[in-house]
Amino acid sequence: MELNKIVSLLSILLLSGILLLGCPLEESEKPFLLGQGIGINSATLMVNDLEAARNYFSDTLGFNINRSAEPGVFEGSMTTSIAFGDMSAFELLAVDDSLKHSTPAFIRTFLASGEGVRLFALSSSSVDSTAMALTASGYQVDSVRSYRSSAQAPEGWSRDDGDPTRRSLDFNTAAPPAHLPRFIENVGLNYAEANDAWRTYYTYNRNFNKHPNGVVGIAAIRIVVRDLEAAHEEFGKLGFEVIEHHDTTARYRLSRHQELHVVAAEADPSLNDFLSRRGEGVFALRFEVADLDSTYRYLEEELPSAALTQTDEQLSILPDYAFGVQLEFVQEPEAQGVMARTLNPMAEPLDTLAIAYAGELYTKYCALCHGDNREGYAADNAPSLRSHSLLATSQNTNFMRYTIQYGRANTAMAGYLDAQGGPLEYIEIELLLQYLYEMAEVEEPVTLSREPVLGAIAQGAAVYEKSCAVCHGENGEGISAPALGNPMLLATATDHFLRYAIAEGRDGTPMMAFKDSLSSQDMDDVTAFLRSRASGWDIPEPITVSIPTPAEYVLNPDSEAPVFQLREGKYVSSAQVNQALQDSLRMIIMDARSEVAWRQMHIPGSFPVPYYEDPENFIDDIPNDGTPIVIYCACPHAASGRVQSTLKRHGFENTAIIDEGILVWAQMGFPVRNGS
């Protein structure tokens, strides 16, 4: 899924004298067992009645829970889950009555004596490495298991290629020790990216996993043991960093500020009873909340007073009111709360912290060319970012987003996305965009057709020379106005986006409205002329092609196939694909974007296979004879990744994704075409 489609971002922030991203959010070195894992993966609450537990956690306790249940990882089990912004989860598990005799004995035994959290798992970026590390430390572990987290077969274009989606490691799969973790690796998750762009991942997950009770993540898993010193020695052997250790408690850091607490029975009289009934294991889960007072008010309305205990720093739901586990709620760290308010482009309107930070970003990175007050033309013909016309027509498209992310080759506009070598995370760019829309008072976007504008190119060239070249340059290079002969502009601006600018102008700038001085046909013609420059301004007879038929899918069918060198076994560089085109080698090139985007600009010989349409419309027409299949999009991997995984699911093995995507392809000066 492309993040900016959910819509398709603080290294340093000094505001009101407070460093908003201070030590509480800085990443410390993780335990070696986790690699680049993201901390707590999940805690599993075992219950006798899954539907009753699910309804209670949703309707009474205020968790936004997945209402559907599906077969669990353990045979004969059914599960549902609650997801949090920190990418952890709280799972509910019950035995499927029709399959209860096949359910592992440790689950049946546990449920026979009551309900509660029996399992917890930590995130590992490589369970193979975890297994080797544990073995080297003298532990006996079972073999790594690969499995699918969902029993439902994938359909349509999907990142799910049908292969296992998770890998797990247990000390003992048949009877996992209740006080020790399992380790889970999510297959396909780019752990390095998730950690490098943690603020982006966290902010979006937090926004899409909102809970009425205010919970934003799991702060700690709390375990009771009979012999604290023996347990402390054991967890030390596992490599967990000690935060605190005294007579009754040992605390260990997992990732960021997530913790593991190991507690002796002497710490609380109720823990002796827990040990006698359940043995060692998880007695409590501690959650972070956005506002502890609000969480208390919510739960106070839903639960009897006997269910809750409260101190200045913690609110707890007693085990009898939470299916055998104590639920504890603490205020999230101040720096994290500030970050969540600051880096939230989806808030309407933006929080005052977000506005202040976005203003700082604008001043630092944009004002030099676009002006202190967004008026534009301070340097390098940079357009006004106050223009309602520009911003209102950009809000529902990727035009501004891709411009900031990738920049404009051969102009002063650099690419600012960190993945492109720039200084900004994705979430910061999204915040900056929303800030610009709000500052321009764009309340409703101007929605434009994405269909092509049909016109006569030769006549359009004459209109351009007469009415446009004086400002935009004879070759679209830009003189006192933006360069229109730029591949990135033409790759991201739709025909109707260009035509709207011609007709309506750009308010507050020298760009006048031509709707009263040019005919409708003139404006269509000049739009068609600009679109024809996608392959280069000096091409006398630009090539416009129709969507290839299935018989034309294979390029150069009688030639030999290229042998690509792939990054991570799946990504091919633009340079290799361009060379294969120049050498007329046999391959198939698929454009994972929409047909409209393909018509706007595409790689020669490609055909559109929109990631959102039924793949059955295309799959039977694609030869599965080993011919290399190259896929691209603009993201540069989100849509093409779906198509590649779907092809793999259908048995196509020789596939690759163009690493840079079509936008960088165009920036590199490699050939492009527009279609009809």
Position 410 scores a pLDDT of: 79
Report helix, strand and coil shares of the chain as percent, to nearest 5: 35, 20, 45
Position 1 scores a pLDDT of: 35
User: What is residue 59's DSSP assignment?
Assistant: I
Position 17 scores a pLDDT of: 30
- Cβ atoms of 277 and 270 within 8 Å: the answer is no
Average pLDDT over residues 401-426: 90
Cα dist from 139 to 180, 200, 260, whole Å: 12, 37, 20
Residues whose CB falls within 8 Å of the CB of residue 112, separated by 6 or more in sequence, listed in order: none
Cis bond before residue 104 (omega within 30° of 0):
no
Instruction: Give the bridge partners for 122, in sequence order.
Output: 40, 183
Give the pLDDT band of residue 363 (cuts 50, 70, 90): very high
Measured distance CA(71)–CA(626) in Å, rounded: 36
Answer yes or no: is pLDDT of 242 > 70.
yes
Residue type, 231: A
Q: How far is CA 31 from the centre of its chain?
A: 25
Measured distance CA(276)–CA(266) in Å, rounded: 13
Position 346 scores a pLDDT of: 93
| Inter-helix orientation angle 352-365/334-342, to 10° | 70
Position 29 scores a pLDDT of: 56
Domains and CATH numbers, the chain: 31-335 (3.10.180.10), 344-439 (1.10.760.10), 457-535 (1.10.760.10), 550-675 (3.40.250.10)
H helix runs in 240-370, sequence order: 269-278, 292-302, 334-342, 352-365, 367-370
Position 673 scores a pLDDT of: 86
Lowest mean pLDDT among 156-160, 369-373, 522-526: 156-160
The dihedral over CA atoms of 580, 583, 587, 590, expressed in degrees to the nearest 10, equals: 60
Instruction: Give the bridge partners for 587, in sequence order.
Output: 555
Rounded to 5 degrees, what angle do the CA atoms 597, 459, 388 make?
Answer: 50
As given in the structure block, the two tokens for residue 518 are: 């040019």
Measured distance CA(609)–CA(611) in Å, rounded: 6
Answer yes or no: is pLDDT of 7 > 60.
no
Answer yes or no: is pLDDT of 369 > 70.
yes
The β-bridge relationship of strands 315-317 and 326-331 is antiparallel
Position 533 scores a pLDDT of: 86
Answer yes or no: is pLDDT of 15 > 90.
no
Q: What is the pLDDT of residues 16-66, one digit of tens each?
A: 332 333 333 444 455 678 899 999 999 999 999 999 999 999 999 999 998
- Cβ atoms of 65 and 51 within 8 Å: the answer is no
Average pLDDT over residues 514-532: 95
Position 417 scores a pLDDT of: 94
Lowest mean pLDDT among 409-423, 467-481, 534-548: 534-548
Q: Which of 515, 345, 540 is nearest to 426 (CA)?
A: 345
Give the pLDDT band of residue 6 (cuts 50, 70, 90): very low
Specify the 3-state DSSP secondary structure of 98.
helix
Q: What is the pTM of this model?
A: 0.86
Measured distance CA(207)–CA(196) in Å, rounded: 19
Rounded to 5 degrees, what angle do the CA atoms 379, 383, 387 make?
Answer: 140
Q: Chain-wide mean pLDDT for the chain?
A: 90
Q: What is the pLDDT of residues 563-580, one digit of tens each?
A: 999 998 999 999 999 999
Answer yes or no: is pLDDT of 5 > 70.
no
Give the pLDDT band of residue 543 (cuts 50, 70, 90): low
Q: Indicate the helix (H) or strand (E) that contains 394.
A: helix 388-394
Position 542 scores a pLDDT of: 62
Instruction: Give the bridge partners for 81, in sequence order.
Output: 91
As given in the structure block, the two tokens for residue 656 are: 């690759």
Measured distance CA(468)–CA(461) in Å, rounded: 10
Position 31 scores a pLDDT of: 66
Q: Which of 583, 634, 581, 572 is nearest to 608 (CA)?
A: 634
Secondary structure (H, E, C), 543-560: CEECCCCHHHCCECCCCC
Please give the residue that has the higher pLDDT: either 306 or 487.
Answer: 306
Give the pLDDT band of residue 343 (cuts 50, 70, 90): very high
Answer yes or no: is pLDDT of 440 > 60.
yes
Q: How far is CA 422 from the centre of its chain?
A: 19
Maximal C-alpha separation, the chain: 90
Give the pLDDT band of residue 637 (cuts 50, 70, 90): confident
Please give the residue that has the higher pLDDT: either 539 or 206.
Answer: 206
Measured distance CA(84)–CA(287) in Å, rounded: 10
Cα dist from 535 to 142, 273, 487, 591, 665, whole Å: 58, 76, 8, 17, 12
Answer yes or no: is pLDDT of 104 > 80.
yes
- How many beta carbons lie within 10 A of that of residue 96, not counting itself? 16
- How many beta carbons lie within 10 A of that of residue 511, not counting itself? 23
Average pLDDT over residues 92-108: 90
Phi then psi dihedrals of residue 147, to 5 deg: -160, 170
Answer yes or no: is pLDDT of 341 > 90.
yes
User: What is residue 576's DSSP assignment?
Assistant: H
Position 269 scores a pLDDT of: 86
Q: Which of 425, 438, 405, 416 is nearest to 368 (CA)?
A: 416
Place of tokens 């970003």: 361
User: What is residue 490's DSSP assignment?
Assistant: H
Answer yes or no: is pLDDT of 219 > 80.
yes
Answer yes or no: is pLDDT of 12 > 60.
no
Give the count of alpha carbons within 13 A of 512, CB side only.
Answer: 8
- Cβ atoms of 404 and 361 within 8 Å: the answer is no
Cα dist from 66 to 80, 81, 82, whole Å: 6, 6, 6
Q: What is the pLDDT of residues 582-599, one digit of tens each?
A: 999 999 999 999 888 898
Name the percent of the chain lying above pLDDT 70. Answer: 94
Position 156 scores a pLDDT of: 74
Q: Which of 214, 211, 209 is nearest to 295 (CA)?
A: 214
Average pLDDT over residues 89-106: 91
